[in-house]
Amino acid sequence: MISIKNLHKKFGDLEVLKGIDADVQKGQAIVVIGPSGSGKTTFLRCLNTLETPTSGSVTIDEQTADFSKPLSKKQIMAFRKQSAMVFQHYNLFPHMTALENVMEGPITVQKQDKKLARKKAEQLLTKVGLGEKINDYPFQLSGGQQQRVGIARALALEPKVMLFDEPTSALDPELVGEVLQVMKDLAAEGMTMVVVTHEMRFAKGVADEVLFMDEGRIIERGKPEDIFNHPTEERTKRFLSLIQKTDVI
């Protein structure tokens, strides 16, 4: 489903991604972990071309973007459709209701029929457990509810791949579960997902594979039980012992 080849990203002189190679099979849920500043967010944003990689290529479902040559706006737009992003801080549109947030992409961008888009948006919001809140503005919703709207908004685009950047790290602890449950359901339905998270529960319970990133490289990848119980790389061990001690995960 996703094939990433030799992906590099520089911000000026700072090389943040130093050659990433990875494949993700259809229906897999991949969890990316790694220390702060290791490039996890940048990696996700490159997959959605929110950042334009410096070089390398990404293939999502037979659409390839080769970043060694400049891409036109049209090519970037076409490639971006393949995936949808869920942000750490939700980034909902505050001037639109939950329903309008979810309908915005289908109507404004995909030019879908309004009635149809509305029906679909209602279904999606019901699916994430917000059927009663469709006419609320974001400020009327809790963080967990806002993030679930964010997930519905991304799903409304009918992407091939869902990208999550620390979707629960801005939430109060008691609200984390409801968001993880929605993501778990998605994974169970066979959605292909790349998730940056420090949620051990999610990684262990849902992920098909865990990638450990450090300093712009993928240091180690494997099944969650292998990575968490018998990491082979020294850096992975150090990172895991650190987060297990401080219970950040």
Ligand X SMILES: Nc1ncnc2c1ncn2[C@@H]1O[C@H](COP(=O)(O)OP(=O)(O)OP(=O)(O)O)[C@@H](O)[C@H]1O
Q: Give the residues lining the site for ligand X (CB under 6 A).
A: 11, 14, 16, 34, 36-42
Nearest to 10 by CA among 35, 46, 62: 46
- Between 81 and 235, name the residue whose CB sits nearer to other proteins: 81
In the list Mg ion, ligand X, other proteins, none, the entry touching 224 (Cβ below 5 to 8 angstroms by class) is none
Q: Which member of 54, 59, 91, 142 binds other proteins (CB under 8 A)? A: 91
CB of 211 to ligand X, least distance (A): 12
Candidates 33-41, 74-82, 117-125, 186-194 — which segment interacts with other proteins by CB under 8 A? 74-82
Q: Which member of 10, 18, 89, 160 binds other proteins (CB under 8 A)? A: 89
Candidates 33-41, 58-66, 120-128, 138-146 — which segment interacts with other proteins by CB under 8 A? 138-146
Q: Pseudo-torsion of CA 10, 203, 171, 192, nearest 10°?
A: 70
Cα–Cα distance, 214 to 153 (Å, whole number): 31
CB of 12 to other proteins, least distance (A): 16
- Between 41 and 49, name the residue whose CB sits nearer to Mg ion: 41
Cα–Cα distance, 70 to 79 (Å, whole number): 13
Q: Which member of 22, 24, 30, 84 binds other proteins (CB under 8 A)? A: 84
Nearest to 43 by CA among 198, 159, 186, 214: 214
In the list other proteins, ligand X, Mg ion, none, the entry touching 28 (Cβ below 5 to 8 angstroms by class) is none
Site for Mg ion in 28-47 (CB under 5 A): 41
Q: Exposed, middle or buried: residue 113 (CB in 10 Å: 0-12, 13-18, 19+)?
A: exposed
Q: Across-strand partners of 11? A: 14
Sequence letter at residue 146: Q
Site for other proteins in 32-51 (CB under 8 A): 48, 50
* Residue 53 vs residues 19, 44, 70, 131, 187: alpha-carbon distances, Å: 11, 11, 10, 39, 27
Cα–Cα distance, 121 to 101 (Å, whole number): 9
Point out which residues bind Mg ion (CB under 5 A). Answer: 41
